[in-house]
């Protein structure tokens, strides 16, 4: 069984390529299951991974709002 829940809608989608670019050695995403086994349709995301992704999303959204 998989437990999921809506948290929020992103203004801009985070793509697999973007996650791969952020997932280098020494980053919070370096061991992310999705990046290790990308054929999975559902994979675990640790709290550390989720927090890092949310931080990146919020930085991008802030930068976009400042341009407008």
pLDDT, one tens digit per residue, over 8-65 is 888 888 888 999 999 989 999 999 998 888 676 778 889 999 999 999 999 988 888 8
> Where does 1-68 have alpha helices with state H?
16-22, 33-36, 47-67
Cα separation, 52 vs 60, whole angstroms? 13
How many angstroms separate the first and last alpha carbons of the chain?
43
Q: Is 55 helix (H, G, I), strand (E, B) or coil?
A: helix
Query: What pLDDT, on the 0 to 100 scale, is given for residue 40?
Result: 65
The structure tokens 């437990």 sit at: 3
The total of structural domains in the chain comes to 1
User: Is 4 within the bounds of a domain?
Assistant: no
**Of 5 and 32, more confident:** 32
Domain residues for the domain of 60 are 16-67
């Amino acid at each position: 069984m998989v437990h999921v829940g809506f948290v929020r809608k992103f203004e801009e989608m985070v793509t697999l390529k973007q996650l791969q670019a952020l997932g280098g050695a020494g980053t919070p995403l370096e061991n992310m299951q999705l990046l290790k086994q990308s054929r999975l349709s559902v994979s675990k995301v640790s709290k550390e991974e989720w927090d890092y992704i949310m931080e990146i999303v919020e930085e991008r959204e802030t930068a976009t709002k400042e341009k407008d």
